Structure 1
Amino acid sequence: MNILIIGNAYPPTYMGGESAHLYNLATSLKKRGHTIFVAHPAASTDGRTSIRLSRSGEGIHVYRLCLPAEDRGLERLNIMLMDIFQGLLEKGDEIDIIHCHSNKFSSSMEVLTKRYSVPLVTTIHAVHIAMVHDLIKRKGTPVDPHELALYTADTERQKAICAKSARIIAISRAMNSLVVKYFDADPQKVRHVYNGINFDRLANFSDQSQMEEIKKRLGIGDRTVILFAGRVEPVKGIQPLASACKTLCERYDQIAFIFLGNGSADTWLRSYLAECRNVYFIDWLSFDGVIPYYHLADIAVVPSLIEPFGLVVIESMACCTCVISSNADGLDEIITHNLNGVKIPLVVDEYGDRDIRAEDICSALERAICEPDWRQSLADQGVMRAKEFTLDHMAEEVEKVYSEL
């Protein structure tokens, strides 16, 4: 089949779990004999609007829809995507399936599915904006009108794509019900397919010199390393984690915290922890750049308030790193508490608003710091769990969804 995959980012751009998933999906489907085209927005390097086509080393055709930084309108993106589709038709590359991972393209999805009768499959990676939007309405929380308008528009775009989709893929069982609840999706159309990982690539990393270079550059020495890798956003539990970090840094000199990633809470986080010793901040890296940090870490902490799946948990497990996470959504399905990781329960108020207590994060991390044998036991079991999330299995399950159309 000729498959057009549309997303928000694709390597070498790294934006966390979604871009890694798109790469894994595209390359896995390619290996199974499909012809893969990928389209995604990208920042313009020369200040001009353009479509740049490249062919990846895996033989995937990648279209980067380049816009100047000041041009954030979605209309241009959708026009560019339709131009790409028309160009493929003119070359004789008829698309059999459109697989969309971004609600930015809702208007073009409506046109393409109607005009060309190409079946649309949508994978939904995030639901937090819709959840926040719903909470604002139910709690009557004061909010900036512009921000509220953005929340509303995002939710409506996702609803529009779901309405046009022949099938909808949720990336965990928890997401199935959330997709139906917040996006008015037809339950009969929704399937759940877990994300997969390249286990061998993660587990078999053995460049000790690279890890030693990182330790030397940061001055970590032999400290117990606690890693947060992901978007630095409130929805990732970054504020209670920062509070726990400050407490533990005051208690223990032999630990080091690494925050790897960027986001809207970046400036606040660095200011809040500015006086803490042995806390390090690393900007986004490529996927290959992140792997040494997974192996360097003794503990990976994922205190998310909302987490549709939790790719960083599986990736950390594959690298034999002990995982401590919240029990949000997909995370609850990955981890068996005190067997292959630790789950910290979220606190939910009468409106459904979620939180995680800093003292609970602190307590879980403290035990892992002080009991290395227990920590290693969890990490060893985590490796076994990570082996269950293979790329082949993910691609096979996605193909089953395609075959229903």
Structure 2
Amino acid sequence: MRVVMLSWEYPPKSVGGLAQHVYDLTSALIKEEVEVFLITCGSPGAPEYEQVNGVHVHRVHPYQVSSPDFVTWVMQLNVAMLERAIPLVNDLQGVHVLHAHDWLVAYTARALKHAYQLPMVATIHATEYGRNHGLHNDIQRHISDIEWWLNYEAWRVICCSHYMENELRRVFQIPQDKLKVIPNGVNPESFMYKEQGFSRDTYAAPDEKIIFYVGRLVREKGVQVLLDAAPDILTREPKVKFIIAGKGPHEGALREQVNQMGIANRVYFTGYISDQVRNALYHWADVAVFPSLYEPFGIVALEAMAARTPVVVSDTGGLSEIVVHGVDGLKAYTGNSRSLADNIVPILRQPQLANTLVENAYRKVLRDFGWRKIAGQTKTIYEEVLEAYKTSAWHGQPERQGWIFDRFSRFLGKY
């Protein structure tokens, strides 16, 4: 099985959770005897080509032309990806499946699909409609149209939760038999705490309990709800430090919120942190809190569970499917700061409850969210799509388009 995969994120370029997802999935697919050729966006200092755990990683850079907006930049990235993909597919002479991650690679995926008449699988990690609770301007509607287009062109669509499955059916009218739910996964060994010279005293006083959030600082992640809950929590548990790790466009508003509430001495914005510091903070934290307003899956909750940190999440999206309330975590009403406080405080006060949640959560991670299992499910989809493709009118008829793209790639090579 030979797959060309497209993703705009891959380490070291990491904006959200997509980079880690693609890294773990591709590494696990290699163990399932799937040959993976990944085309992704470049990053300063990263090689244009390297093998990572057996994965052939090709990095490209968008054209160095000014971009008036992000959508234009995405188009420039896609043209650069296509320039790399054309000679790659020609040289391989035997690609079985294309796999595209989200709308940011839709143009490249669609062009390769039709030029070489190959089956294409798409994974949709989130939607513009869901992120914004609707479509409110022309840019959002444009991105949503591209998402619809990618779903339409895909032979099969993978999503990470039943919540996302329902969203895709509702927003894009995707037929049920085209959708497949495969959850995200986590490698517990990646979240083991190791003594590396970090000090807990850097982040909190010895007598302070730690409430930890890590993730992008965007409105849909709900950090503002956690801050709204802080006075209630501090009234009941005065010795608490809120550690907010990550960066994003909502950071300024969150800092202003903290200042207006008069709790700046109780909140530590760390900015970006390394994986080693993240693991240390999980180890020191008394509870990890993820109060998202919109969350297609919620990989951070799995990571906290793998790190053996008790979790409190909002009862929404994929988070609601990961956590069983009172068994392996606690769930609060979405957007409700009082409910959030009411679920955080018991974990701070009851060590036995925290320990029970941690042990149950860790067992669930090992049982249900291993990447080897997820890669096997993904490979099965590749095989099903390939089998259907072989009986279609497309199979065995890529010669004309392949010849055209071969001539085009030679032309690009000259200039």
Same fold (TM over 0.5): yes
What letter is aligned with 2:313? S
Deviations 1:76-126 (A, max 9, x none): 212112111112134335432211112022222222111111111111111
Correspondences of 1:168-183 after superposition (within 5 Å): 168-183=157-172
CA deviations on 1:151-186 (whole Å, 9 max, x unpaired) are 101110100000000000010122111111112322
Pick from 348, 354, 370: which aligns with 2:349?
A: 370
The percent of aligned pairs where both chains have the same amino acid is 24
Name 2:376's counterpart in structure 1.
Answer: 396
1:4-403 equivalences in 2 (<5 Å): 4-42=4-42, 53-67=48-62, 70-71=66-67, 72=70, 73=72, 74-92=74-92, 94-127=94-127, 129-131=128-130, 135=134, 148-202=137-191, 205-210=192-197, 213-249=198-234, 251-274=236-259, 275-276=262-263, 277-346=265-334, 356-387=335-366, 388-403=368-383
Contact residue 131 and residue 182 of structure 1 kept, 8 A: no
Contact 2:183 2:369 in 1 (8 A): yes
- RMSD, aligned CA: 2.2
Q: Which amino acid aligns with 2:15?
A: M
SS at match of 1:20: helix
Distance (whole Å) between structure 1 residues aligned to residue 299 and residue 23 of structure 2? 13
2-side partners of 1:54 and 1:286: how far apart?
24
Where does structure 1 lack aligned partners over 5 or more consecutive residues?
46-50, 137-142, 347-355
Q: Which has the higher mean CA deviation after the structures are superposed, 148-157 or 267-276?
A: 267-276
Q: Distance in 1 between matches of 2:362 and 2:274?
A: 23
- In 1, Cα distance between equivalents of 2:9 and 2:273: 14
Q: How many residues align?
A: 376
Distance, in Å, in 2 between the alignment partners of 1:84 and 1:220 is 52
TM-score with structure 2 setting the length: 0.84
Q: What amino acid sits opposite 2:152 in the alignment?
A: A
Cα separation, partners in 2 of 1:54 and 1:223, compared to 1, 3 Å: farther
Partner residue of 1:351?
none
CA contact (8 A) 2:228 2:337 kept: yes
CA 1:133–1:238 in structure 2 vs 1: closer, same or farther (change >3 Å)? Answer: closer
- Contact kept? 2:204, 2:210, Cα under 8 Å: no
Normalising to structure 1: TM-score of the pair? 0.86
- The residue identity in structure 1 corresponding to 2:129 is A
Asked which structure has the greater CA Rg, the reply is 2
Q: In the aligned structure 2, how far is the partner of 1:69 from the partner of 1:381?
A: 52
Shift of 1:52: 5.5
Deviation at 1:69, TM superposition (A): 9.3
Between the aligned partners of 2:52 and 2:280, the Cα distance in structure 1 is 23
